[in-house]
Structure 1
Amino acid sequence: MSTLLLDQPVPVYPLTPQQTPGSGLLQLARAQGQQPAFRQNMLRPHRKDYYHLVFVQRGGSRHWVDMTPYVLKENALYFSAPGQLQLKEKLLPLWGFSLAFTREFLALQPNAALAQLPLLRNPQNGHELLLAPADVAFVEDLFTKLEAEYQQPGEWQQPMLTAHLTVLLTYLSRLYTAQFPGDEPSADQLLLQRYRARIEECFRERHEVSAYAALLHISAGHLSEVVKAQSGKPAIAHIQERLVLEARRLLFHTPQSVKEIAFDLGFADASYFSRFFKRETGLTPAEYRASSREMYP
């Protein structure tokens, strides 16, 4: 498994004008046995700043989302969100479709409601949907319709793309809830979701529950009470878990020193960070790096 060189930060790749004619907010491509059309250095750890869906009909190799490897299966759909640490192991032929779109695309009306679909919120942190034959036919037809509209610029292109995309993401969200079951959120569960979303935005700078309560315009006591009731964990645990996840990503995928990782995550003292990491995981950062590299060569 590849890692970065000592002096390399984890790169973040946007959708570029070269990849996406027009606005650069949405990209659709069909793979018909050729090697995937992405940067060679995606074989190194990287992040994307866009949502990415890949419908695999045939081919492909193993890829990683955070610390989890996925061997691409026939007639399956793979998806990831902005900011997740990823890498691909090989450039092998692939048959299928690739769809990518940015947060800015979702912010446009009438796309805004799409951001609340389970597939994009991904509360269960899944990245693979297995499709039954009827699902394959439906999804393939929608991708074909999206491709036809994508290749026909004009006054009605964006409304048609949005219509087909809405059907596709809604259908995939139904499959998501079947494969990753969960209940519809209540008001308190929505507050928990907002809390987690704020943590995702600010975990490097804000390590205290009170800071997030201020962002959400509620008292720290009320936030702590709701989060504990809905998740079964103290509110501070969600912040700590997000910090540990990012630390594990960097220890696993990069050669950054423990001190560099500590400072990147907002810890002024590297030794305090090491104690924090060991308290949360049972291993020092160095021990975790060594053991994870042995487990996933």
Structure 2
Amino acid sequence: MDASRNLLHDPNISGIVPPMNRYVPTYQLYGEEIEREGRFWLHCETIPERSRLHDWEIRPHRHDAFFQMLHISDGTGDVLVGDAYRGFGADTVIFIPPGVVHGFRFSRDIGGLVVTVLRERLDLPAGASPHLAAFAAEPRIVADAEARARLAVDSLHRIAAEIAGHGIGRMMLAEALVTAALIDLARACGARADPAPDPQSRDQQRLERLASLINAHFRQHRPAAFYAERIGISPAHLNRIARARTGRSLQDLIAARLLDEARRSLVFTFLPAQAIAHDLGFSDPAYFSRFFSRHTGESPSAYRARERARLRL
């Protein structure tokens, strides 16, 4: 099986289904309607957890705001992408991009896990590499994952372990593992190395550098000029690159990183909001509360109460 093949145009696919004129639902997780307020950025569960509730069939649906990576460890099944089902066996990894209609039919002995990730986590990696962006634009099936995508499989299972555990920095590590799984899966699908430096690839390298700098300095609330100086271009030029590659401004990327860390601290620590504000570099807790409310539509305390109740923490 050619793992880099586009499933929508594969002439070897069997089980063609008629065009779907009926409504195709959009979910966060299958069977769960979209919430207007608050969204997880990362979710992991075993495949049987949800599929057994639906008689081992996940009917056609889409996730506009998320992408998914599945590892099939045991059993068999069929995956629907576009207008055709394609069979798969044990030791398979499946990648579903945001917005793609898909469904599954699983055998009753199915085993494995599914990792669901907010689509914004594709922005910086895909913006920094055209080949990674090309990989992430299409659904993928990687058979014989033990040999071809072992590192990606390891990362997916480490994500599950980190989410289930209570280790220090677990969500930061999970974030890094999501990126590692994406890159290793793209390599397993035959994604080529990025081209030698030219004006376009220089911008990709600058975006990679920007991502590293934001991760290192977001708590310090540095101005655009700080990042531009270290990358060696003007703030206006850096902002143009960010918008062209990710669809978001430099300030939007920094704010998103602050919000990610704020959400994690509110849900997974018992620190008061004032202490979280201080840790994130806000000298005024009231300003932190306004910042959080402006971007999420709810106060830090309301977000914490709702998410902890939902996760039963």
Task: State TM-score, norm by structure 2.
Answer: 0.46
